[in-house]
Amino acid sequence: MLTQHSILKVNLISLLLLSAHSTAYATTLYACKDPNGNMGYAFNPCKAPTTEVYHRVMGTYTNIYPSKTTTTTTTTTTTTTTTIAPNTLLSPLPTSTSTTSITSPTVFAKTSFWYTPIPTEVALATNSPELTKEFVRQKVKYYNNVKINTYDYAAPVYTVDSTVKGVKVGFNNCQNKTYVDSTFTAMTSAVAIPSYAQPSAGTDGEMAIYQPSTNTYWELWKAKLDSTTGTWSACWGGKISNVSTSAGIFQKGYGTTATGLPFVGGQVTAEELARGEIKHAIGIALVDLDSSWVISWPANRSDGYNPSGLPNRIAEGQRFRLDPTVNVDALSMSKAGKVIAKAAQKYGFVVWDKAGAISIRAQNPKTYTAQGKPDPYPALYENKPTYAVLNGFPWERLQFLPKDYGKP
């Protein structure tokens, strides 16, 4: 856990008004090291007893290496300036030979629904007002908030280079199936798991791996590493080959979410929050969903449950957005909340799972901490609890799109 002197704090300042509803931001980060050698970040220049190591503005890093003079009473500071690729500070990834980044808006095909903005003037579902009321009902009934799953029920995503070789991931039959799915075992016969990989905490044990050099993406559910044998196993998951030309949907029946929609498409990353802009639709889980046979594209399956056939239940796969006429900058919300709200206006949400509470996902901080980097979220969330970051979001201004919106 980070000390109070090594908490990452990110100051996002407005740089350029891109459109009536979207603003880009620059990032100023001050890296501080406490007396115990722990690295963290701050909004402002570091204060004693921390030592400033470097700071960043718009991709340019000034590296500051304090060094004592020959006397014990005088300290001098030497400053050098180095230009480093954007997002290196928060990057969870080793250097790759590929130009594709996990935080790039084009992990999948550029034409994927994940990256396709919703036109401002678009036909809404005929029962959009009723669906919005249903969403608000669920929000009020289930904890009266929308949480950003960050530390649990959120997957770390490890991007690896070509030096990471595939290892066999065995099948742990946690669901007591009466057969072994040969397609799944083929998908997990050579997964490029890095040595530092850790699945998410909790019962789901999720993690994702992306290897640009082989153009492959894997997801694992209930992933486990046997410390005795050094072998991995998983209860389920999937593989997407030729990921750069993929629509961003798993083969039917595979993947970790109930809909077959991959984490890397809809999770929010620390880099995006620090940058101040999310360039994709956001996955969201609801509680009371329409029956499992009522599916809206891009979902290809569902675990919805509506035994009484209640009307105006939201289907898995359904897409909706925040009314683009809402002035997000005027809302009483956290900085991260506003970044998410603006993405919700431009790209919208897509229902990708069923859960015990309404929630979206952030990329699990194990993406960073498994490699010895600080947890970026306390500062990005302004030290707010994960259930409070989206407080002030005008959920009553949601607009639902028709079933199968955007289907080719």
156, two tokens:
């770390």
The pLDDT of residue 36: 56
Backbone angles phi, psi at 265, to 5 degrees: -75, -40
The pLDDT of residue 31: 62
Strand order in the sheet with 224-226: 169-171, 231-234, 224-226
Q: Which of 147, 155, 160 is nearest to 190 (CA)?
A: 160
Give residue-wise pLDDT tens across range 159-179: 999 999 999 999 999 999 999
The pLDDT of residue 202: 82
Q: Which residue has the tokens 């997000």?
A: 328
Strand order in the sheet with 147-149: 147-149, 359-361, 282-286, 349-354, 319-322, 398-400
Q: Which amino acid is at 370?
A: A
Contact between residue 358 and residue 137 where contact means Cβ atoms under 8 Å apart: no
Contact between residue 370 and residue 156 where contact means Cβ atoms under 8 Å apart: yes
The pLDDT of residue 197: 98
- Return all residues near 375 (Cβ < 8 A) that are at least 6 apart: 2, 8, 365, 368, 369
The pLDDT of residue 132: 98
Backbone angles phi, psi at 363, to 5 degrees: -65, 125
- Return all residues near 365 (Cβ < 8 A) that are at least 6 apart: 150, 151, 156, 270, 375, 376, 377
- Return all residues near 64 (Cβ < 8 A) that are at least 6 apart: 52, 53, 54, 55, 77, 78, 79
Residues in the chain where the model's pLDDT stays below 50? 1-28, 43, 54-104
Contact between residue 243 and residue 262 where contact means Cβ atoms under 8 Å apart: no
Give residue-wise pLDDT tens across range 366-405: 999 999 999 999 999 999 999 999 999 999 999 999 999 9
